[in-house]
Copies of this chain bind each other. A is one copy, B any other.
Amino acid sequence: MARVVVDVMLKPEILDPQGQAVQRALPRLGFQGISDVRQGKRFELEVDGPVDDAVLARIQEMAETFLANTVIEDFVVKVEGEK
């Protein structure tokens, strides 16, 4: 078993109202010094068996077609640890 993480974030040029809402709330709540906040999604996938290049290629494809909307989102696939 291994964990693969897919982080999906809106592209930098796409407006992120959720992140903006968080950023604007921070000073009101007493937190200063944060100039920007972006909010995205994190998927933790538990993979059966070892994570080789073929498995990573499949997950890359999965992220591209299903987990992220690549018109407006970027994604990163990371192996987070074998168990």
Contact = CB atoms under 8 A, between A and B. Distances in A.
Looking at chain A, what size class is its interface with the partner chain? 20 to 34
Contacts of A82: none
Interface in A3-26: 7, 9, 19, 22, 25-26
B36 A39 contact: no
B7 A35 contact: no
Nearest to A23: B45
19 contacts: A1-B35, A19-B43, A22-B67, A25-B66, A26-B62, A31-B58, A33-B47, A33-B49, A33-B55, A34-B46, A34-B47, A35-B48, A37-B43, A37-B44, A37-B46, A38-B43, A39-B42, A40-B42, A41-B41
